[in-house]
Amino acid sequence: MILSVDGIHKTYGKDKVLKGITFQIDEPKIVALVGPNGAGKSTLLNIIANLQQADQGKVTILHKSNQDHSIFKEISFMQDNSVLYDYLTGYDHLQFIGDMQGISKKRLLLTAKRVGMDAYLNKKVGKYSLGMKQHLLLTMALVNEPKLLILDEPLNGLDPTSSIRVRNLFLEEQQKGTCILLSSHNLSEIDRVTSHILFMKGGELIEENIALYEKVFYHVLVDDQGRAAIVLKENETNVSYDEEKFVFTTEECPLPSFIRLMEENNISILDVEKKVHGSEERYQRIYMENGAGL
């Protein structure tokens, strides 16, 4: 068990923000938390990360209470950019985390390069764009190689190129065994990285893992499409081809098997998208019919 949220309630004055939220994640997945503004998403993430206290209920992470300080080296929480200091450089922020957790400079720099922020690491944060700040926040969350990564609106402010990089990074982290819980308003991006969606409305969980009931397709771009097609045919893999990408479901070809085949034949994977058909329609049915929007 990676994360267990059991009967979480939270009230501000007379406003019941969370009403008995319960769900569990047992294996490394990318799980999205979706809902309109005011649904309680950020409050729930803060409670899971032990930055706020629930009025009732409990959170267990890696079989320990989320109030057990020993788990903090196993988890990371990416908050909004209000936690950044304009007068410090990006590297100053990373170095602070490194000093606190005994992380080497080499790992800090490698993580910054993976995220794509190494070119402006030594600039002061006050000169960063919104997208650059998002890169820094994500780098800060990844440097300790967490087993549970909690992200509040990680795709906010990213341009298309950065979105692709971050999306692929999430998939890489999942393959390495990291569980990711993220909130986002961007349904199309969510569909590309996860089939596990928790819908929240009025402080309640509407339907758990609703997208598991939808058809999930992987769209994969490689650097040598011709040779990849030959390899797939030789291995009798049921994969179709559409708009320069290979397309398949988990049932037709598990993603790890596809990646392994490409690696064994020195074929580079340039982009991976996971698309869940129908999740936007589900969102509209759950929220828009009653006048609740993003």
Grouping H, G, I as helix, E, B as strand and the rest as coil, residue 246 is strand
pLDDT at position 205: 87
Residues 142/111, Cβ–Cβ less than 8 Å: yes
What residues of the chain score a pLDDT lower than 50?
208-213, 294
pLDDT of residue 195: 63
C-alpha span between 156 and 171 (Å, rounded): 18
pLDDT tens for each residue of 17-35? 999 999 999 999 999 998 8
pTM, 2 dp:
0.75
Residues 6+ apart with CB under 8 A from 43: 10, 17, 18, 52
CB of 17 closer than 8 Å to CB of 68: no
Distance between CA atoms of 151 and 77, rounded to whole angstroms? 6
Structure confidence by residue, pLDDT tens digits, 185-219: 777 777 777 768 888 888 998 764 444 445 677 88
Residue 38 is predicted with a pLDDT of 81
At 25, is the secondary structure helix, strand, or coil?
Answer: strand
Find, among 267, 217, 212, the residue nearest to 242 by Cα. Answer: 217
Contact at 8 Å (CB) between 267 and 227?
yes
All domains of the chain, ordered by start, with CATH?
3-74+146-214 (3.40.50.300), 216-276 (3.30.70.100)
